Amino acid sequence: MRVGVLGPLLIDGAGGETTPRGQRPRDVLAVLLQRRGHVVTPDVLLDLVWGDAAVELTASTVHTVVARLRRALGSDVIETHDAGYRLGRQVRLDSDDFDAALRRAREATAAGDAAGAVTAYRDAVAVWRGPQAFEGVSDDLVMADRARLGEAHAQTLDELALALLESGTAPALDEAWSLARALTREHPLREGSHRTAMLAAVRSGRQAEALDLYRALRARLRDELGIEPSPPTAALHQRILTQDPTLDPALDVGPTHEQRTGPEPQVTGERPPDQREMGRLPAPLTSTVGREEDLATVLTLLEQGRRLVTILGPGGVGKSRLLAEVGGRLSADPSLEVVYVDLSGLGATNAADIADAVAVGFRLPVSRDDPISSLVNHLCADRLVALVDEAEWASTAVAEVASHILAGCLGVRLVVTSRVPLDVLGESRVLLAPLACPPEDASGAEARRAPAVRLLEDRLRDHAPDLVIGDEQGADLARLARRVDGLPLALELLAGYAASRTLAELLPLVDAPLDVASPEVGHRPRHRSLRDTLLWSVERLTPSERLVLRRLGVFAGSFDVSAARSVVGGSLDPLTVDAGLRALVREALVQLDRRGPRSRLRLLRTVRDLALEGLDESGETQEVRRRHREWFAARWRGQPPHDELIAEVGASYDDYLEALRQGLAARDACSVADLVIALGRRWSFVEAAGVGVRWFDRVLAADLLDPVDTARVQVLRVGLTLHASWADSRHLIARCQEALANDPDWLAQAWQVESIQAYQAGDVERSVTAADQMVTVARRGARWVLPEALATTAVMVAAAGDREGALASADEAWALIGASPTALDFASVIPKIGLALVDADQPQRAYDILSRATTDVSIRLGLRPTFTIVINLGWAALGIDRPAEALSWFARSLNSGSHRGLFLAEECVGAACALTSLGHPQAAALLDAADELSSRHALSLTPRMAAHRQAARYLQPPSGDRSLSSRTDEDLAAAIGTAAREFAP
């Protein structure tokens, strides 16, 4: 059975091709297709398909429509369950064929097979039967899928044009030009399509048309969004102007889309999109004005030994900007680690949530039982400055966490921004005032030297570079600055309006009265309010633009245009939403962020507060939150883990978490399952076991999910809890495998979880059997997981003593990923290959692979190497007789993962072996401590690890020295770090 969604809804069954007759059957079928493999209750179908009319209807209405669909689809296609209906997984969609062709095309592109790529791209395009997906289905049901698939279609055409350009033949160049030109007409603001068209024009001898394309794009961007073309587009334009001879087929014209449905082709070998490490300090894109004294004050307090500095001030005064400048100065000290966590939009309400936020931001595992103590224990040995932004979201909770950190982590200093003091003992407060404004009688030249006017002038030039500003305009600039009391956020907003106004036309924008008292002594008594300034701006919008703004308030963080269209949607058509977004960007009520590979939008904090108030007053909150929840739930529904999923969930983490909270409150089983699975992929990738397990437990306790989704969540949960009892988990895993018997993707993951759990418990035979099962399932129906399955098998058979089998599996896994490993490969495949090679007596090869991986993951992907890469590199270095280096890697692993339980036991064994080789006086004591830890946590060493330990024990028999055995886990970790520093080069 095959159903077509790429065009009009079409059923291709035994009786031929048919289209469901009637709006309700088409809508019900669409809902079941979206949730293929999930049970959908009649109540959910009534709510989604019949809307307000469902109040007067019963489940029998749904039964009638389903019966009609069964006559068209076949009686066994729609399954009946106690809870509702489910469309069987035997139903194939034409979008599956589209995705498969697109994957083949991208694989051919990566392999340099231009002809094969063109053929596969044509196959993908040929699957489409109409201009938009789900034609004939009600818009509000399929807005997210329609936007996603439409973007994928346009992106495929873009990539087809690029593949044609690679072939270099005259007909191919002409076709590429035609395709790209058509895309620019259909998507006049899509810069990637314009870059492709410009390149095609140049290569086909149409240089003048290439320049015309750029001029037309630039005019539209300026008129409709008030922005200039992005740097890649401008750079290509400049190269065309200078007739750059390197404009050849290998040219990378940059990202061509806002959103993809699959992995991006890596034309230049650069890292996948947006795989930057969370917790990295944001770099200001513009200059900081008038904060030199405030910056010096904060730095001086830190130099004097103050360990908690709180930057205080009203909203919009520039606290976050000053925090970034402080971080930039501190980062110049190579001996100091500076980390950053943003609490805005997080929704945290208690100290445990704050500890979770810090853990996810810093990629630190946190205990689900006591997250605060675990965080303190992990940070206690570090020398760092933690920069915490917007603590007013949960100031009491932040104060509690800060108190614990100050008491338990002598090497940690905190710099916090907040609207209210934390009232913590030892807190040093820096009151950030608005920027100084010029006096009323200042001349134009004098006014332009005042900090508030300097900031306004800088931002005006950013937004309107052709605006004439001189001493003659100084009086108007001073009037604007004084009207908003020099508040930087207000000045930023005013400057944003300059894209479509003259300087004189900006003056009416600041006529609303202020109610935020200025901290400056002697300032004029009449103050101005940013809230009223925003309200005045909002009142200038059309009714539809105001509607767009208030619905955008449900976004907790940044978002892309596709998400905005779907969530705002409802009664508004996509064109109206797009027009509203352009107006809001132009009016500076929505911020446009183009720093990453994709443009993202974000509401400033005060604007979001105002939008949510309007949403509550309109009575739309529940409905808009439902669309928000369903958009993020549908984003990765049914897809295996890949880099783009990990990156996008990380970029929109606040919104995924908020959607999950709302889904649990609404008891929306389908959305909750999709959301927690997507988040689980991210938690697994960043090794955030504490926060992940707590959320998994919360979802499972709600008792919402059907047996299959429950099994999927359990697999992810057990995968994060390597310290679980094997006796308890083996039965749970068996039940999961039974529930997932018809789902090869998840069944393979369930076998992997069993293999790793058995391995940790010392049941090597069971671990090998489970790994073999994982490989069998992966080869049969889950090829994406095959590299990890083979790497897992290599580890297990190596532990069982089968050297040749381990090498064969490791070599096959490496052959599948070695040419272009993904971020997921670095986290889950390469560490296993390295460990297997160590146990297969090839430590040099393991060392080469793992050391190269640490460099690649840091430089190419911008990530911190995972705990498993680092600790396995320590064993590899020990195997090639580099004990000092091995010791440094074991010490570094303490900062990459949790130094508790099994992990600390293994680190202690490795460090003790290294110290024995180095003749360190504490080697015997640490080895004794390692033996105690290993026994306490039932650590199962691999053969090569056990051989190193045995050799060390031969040289260092039990000493009776319990100086380290009686230490806490944190003391042991500190002792290893101290010893490693002794041997540092």
Q: Tell me phi and psi for residue 607, to 5 degrees.
A: -65, -40
CA distances from 417 to 309, 360, 772, 863 (A): 9, 19, 53, 26
Q: What is the gyration radius of the CA atoms in the chain, in angstroms?
A: 30
Q: How far apart are CA 755 and CA 772, in angstroms?
A: 9
Which H, E and C letters describe 651-693, residue by residue? Answer: HCHHHHHHHHHHHHHHCCHHHHHHHHHHHHHHHHHCCCHHHHH
Reading the block at residue 227, the tokens are 């922005």
* Contact criterion met (CB below 8 Å) for 960 and 856: no
* Residue 289, pLDDT score: 87
Q: Are strands 591-593 and 600-602 parallel, antiparallel or unpaired?
A: antiparallel
In a 10 Å sphere around its CB, with 0-12 CB exposed, 13-18 middle and 19+ buried, how is residue 331 labelled?
middle
Asked if residue 878 lies in contact with residue 886, where contact means CB atoms within 8 angstroms, the answer is yes
Angstrom distance (rounded) from CA 573 to CA 284: 36
- What is the sign of the dihedral through the CA atoms of 653, 277, 355 and 965? positive
CA pair distance 980, 813, nearest whole angstrom: 33
Q: Which two tokens stand for residue 771?
A: 């790994």
Cα 844 to Cα 240, 702, 852, distances in angstroms: 49, 50, 12
- What pairs with residue 591 in β-bridges? 602
User: What are the start-end ranges of the E strands in 399-505?
Assistant: 412-418, 427-431
How many H-runs (helices) and E-runs (strands) does the chain carry?
Answer: 45, 13
Nearest-angstrom CA–CA distance, 321 and 312 = 13
Return the residue matching tokens 């069998």.
776
C-alpha span between 933 and 912 (Å, rounded): 12
Tell me, yes or no, if the pTM score tops 0.75. no
Angstrom distance (rounded) from CA 824 to CA 685: 7
> Strand order in 427-431's β-sheet?
337-342, 384-389, 412-418, 308-312, 427-431
**Lookup result for tokens 């900081």:** 288
Tokens of 480: 């604007």
Helix (H/G/I), strand (E/B), else coil: 272: coil
d(CA 261, CA 534): 37
Q: How many CB atoms lie within 10 A of CB 120?
A: 24
**Rounded CA gap, 859 and 862, in Å?**
5
CB-CB contact of 741 with 747 (8 Å): yes
Instruction: Give the single-character DSSP code of 137.
Output: S
Residue 417: phi and psi, rounded to 5, are -110, 140
Choose among 503, 435, 436, 434: nearest CA to 463.
Answer: 503
Distances (CA, A) of 674 to 32, 275, 631: 15, 22, 11
**CA–CA distance, 699 with 719 (Å, rounded to integer):** 16
Q: Are 964 and 922 in contact (CB under 8 A)?
A: yes
Rounded CA gap, 123 and 121, in Å? 5
Residue-range domains of the chain with CATH = 1-167 (1.10.10.10), 179-261 (1.25.40.10), 292-431 (3.40.50.300), 444-528 (no CATH), 541-619 (1.10.10.10), 660-838 (1.25.40.10), 866-982 (no CATH)
Cα distances (Å, whole numbers) of residue 156 to 159, 180, 565: 5, 11, 21
From edge to edge, which strands make up the β-sheet containing 92-93? 16-18, 10-13, 2-4, 92-93
**In DSSP terms, which residues pair with 413 in a beta bridge?**
385
pLDDT of residue 627: 93
Look-up: residue for tokens 């109040």? 55
Whole-number Å distance between alpha carbons of 373 and 377:
6
SS3 13: strand
What pLDDT is stored for residue 521 in this prediction? 31
pLDDT averaged per 10 residues, the chain (length 985): 85 74 86 82 84 77 84 76 78 88 87 87 90 86 83 88 84 86 87 88 84 87 79 81 67 40 33 37 74 93 92 79 90 81 68 75 64 80 80 85 88 87 89 85 87 90 80 86 79 74 72 34 34 64 91 92 89 88 78 74 77 87 93 90 88 93 94 95 85 93 94 92 69 90 92 89 89 94 92 94 94 87 88 94 94 82 80 94 91 65 80 90 84 80 90 81 64 72 67
* Partners of residue 386 on adjacent β-strands: 339, 414
- Residues 796, 508: Cα–Cα separation, whole Å: 72
